[in-house]
Amino acid sequence: MFTPAAAVQDNTVAPFPFRLTPERPHHAAHGAHGERLAEQFHLPSVPALVATLRPSNTVLAVSHLQTQAPPPLPSLAFPPEDAYLVLLHLQHLADHRFWLDGREIPVSACDAGAVSIAHLAHNPVWLFAAPLDALAFYIPMTALQAVARQHNAQPPPILHCPRNQPDATALQLGFNLLAPLKKGQSGALFFTDHVMQAFCAYIAQRYGRMEVARRLQGGLTPRQERQAKSLLMSSIQTGATVAEVAAAVGLSPSYFLRAFRQSVGEPPRRWLTAHKLEQAKRYLTETDMPLAEVAVACGFGDQPYLTRLFTRLVGKPPGAWRRDQR
């Protein structure tokens, strides 16, 4: 008789014994993320973030699967759907087994940063014999189609992932989601939405060979420029760094800095400073807000820093400039 312990010890490739797979939960709605994923993998809870792609209203989700000990049983059968579950391993995973459509697929240990991909239409089943620490991205085919439309590209017909090849870009994108996952949905959703969409686009390009429109003369695409500016503006509240903004648009920090300068004409921080100054001018002319509050609201930290910067770039202190406008 099949048991989890016997499965770990027996290294032969064999059909998965479905009769001993625990039953699917009765509330089997589509969407392998959050509490549904917790039940599939026999975990007490799984933190998750969900993003919606507009205007298609397609859902993307990421869940953090983390255990101190191996789950005691094979994962439950997933309701079949045209969607992928992409596992991004955050730490080395030694012993595990994997089945598709009832047939065992030979797998090797996964290093930190490795990506593995399973299509939920083929009834993937995992059995782990070591603690697990991974991000599980739920990516429906409709999300891949939506991302392809955003990039004026053809959606990938299938995602294929070579075994155990660490992916530094995917890992960087994943790391940017760990803090929001810890805080829950109350975190900076605008930023996390962009990171999750960037991850989906990256996976489609790297593992689905999706061809995207080339950046104009080495700069940002129009969509990347819009996303970057929106994220930089929101960083006043979210505290997102330039490196995190770069990751959210699917670029390395060094390439992003060069591309932004080429497309916009100045570095991101200088562009953001100018935007913050314009925002401060609006507060100064349209409200009676004290200078200290204006400084905080516009991301300058305190009034002395706002006064120094405003005086240097505008030519006079903010208080005097306000009086001149009235």
Q: What is the pLDDT of residue 263?
A: 87
Q: For residues 301 and 211, what is the distance between their CA atoms, to the nearest angstrom? A: 43
Q: Which CATH number fits domain 4-183: 3.40.50.150, 3.30.300.30, 3.30.565.10, 2.60.120.10?
A: 2.60.120.10
CB 192 within 8 A of CB 177: yes
* Domain extent listing, the chain: 4-183, 214-265, 270-324
Q: For residues 72 and 128, what is the distance between their CA atoms, to the nearest angstrom? A: 8
What is the reported pTM? Answer: 0.66
Distance from the Cα of residue 189 to its chain's centroid: 11
Q: What is the pLDDT of residue 82?
A: 93
CB 295 within 8 A of CB 305: yes
Q: What is the pLDDT of residue 98?
A: 92
Q: For residues 113 and 218, what is the distance between their CA atoms, to the nearest angstrom? A: 28
CATH superfamily name and code, 270-324: Homeodomain-like (1.10.10.60)
**Cis peptide leading into residue 131 (ω within 30°):** no
Geometric angle at alpha carbon 209, from 77 and 87, rounded to 5°: 35
Q: What is the pLDDT of residue 188?
A: 54
What values do phi and psi take at 60, rounded to 5?
A: -115, 150
Residue 209 neighbours by CB under 8 Å, 6+ apart? 156
Sequential pLDDT tens for the chain (326 residues): 333 334 433 433 333 333 223 233 333 345 889 899 999 999 999 999 988 877 677 889 999 999 888 888 899 988 899 999 999 999 998 888 999 999 999 888 889 999 999 999 999 999 998 899 999 999 999 999 888 887 777 878 889 887 777 888 888 889 888 888 888 754 456 678 888 888 898 899 889 888 765 554 578 888 888 888 888 888 877 777 888 888 888 787 888 888 898 888 888 988 888 888 988 998 998 899 999 999 988 888 889 999 999 999 889 899 999 998 87
Residue with tokens 């059968």: 77
What values do phi and psi take at 15, rounded to 5?
A: -60, 145
Give the number of residues written for the chain: 326
Residue with tokens 């155990």: 164
Pull the structure tokens for residue 20.
């001993």
Handedness of CA 36, 40, 44, 50 (dihedral sign): negative
Burial class (CB in 10 A: 0-12, 13-18, 19+), 37: buried
Q: What is the pLDDT of residue 21?
A: 30
Q: What is the pLDDT of residue 176?
A: 84
